[in-house]
Homo-oligomer: A and B are copies of this chain.
Amino acid sequence: GDAAAGKTKAVICAACHGPAGVAAIPTYPNIAGQNEQYIKLAIKAYKNGERKGGQAAIMTGIAGSLSDADIDNLAAYYSGL
């Protein structure tokens, strides 16, 4: 993925995951330095409705708005932090 494009897209993530991938809210995960492949799998799990429960509702909505390219770029960006 393209980390620079990911950084631009990441504005929608920063509210919960923090400006640099360290979550502002303790019930949300830090994603800075997370494994690139895992980030993709986790976002796609939300996008595919494979994750339910209170926490999952927000991510399912956001993931639904992301293209595969967005997901690849976000994974490249956050895994590099």
Specify which chain B residues have a CB less than 8 angstroms from the CB of A48 in the assembled complex. 53
Separation of A41 and B52 alpha carbons in the complex (Å): 12
Q: Is A33 an interface residue (CB 8 A)?
A: yes
Asked whether A14 is an interface residue with its Cβ less than 8 Å from the other chain, the reply is no
Complex contact B56–A53 (CB within 8 A): no
Are the CB atoms of B45 and A35 closer together than 8 Å? no
Within 8 Å CB of A37, what residues of B?
Answer: 26-27
List 14 A–B pairs whose Cβ atoms lie within 8 Å, in order of A's numbering: A23-B38, A26-B35, A26-B36, A26-B38, A27-B35, A27-B37, A28-B35, A28-B38, A30-B34, A30-B35, A45-B56, A50-B53, A51-B52, A52-B52
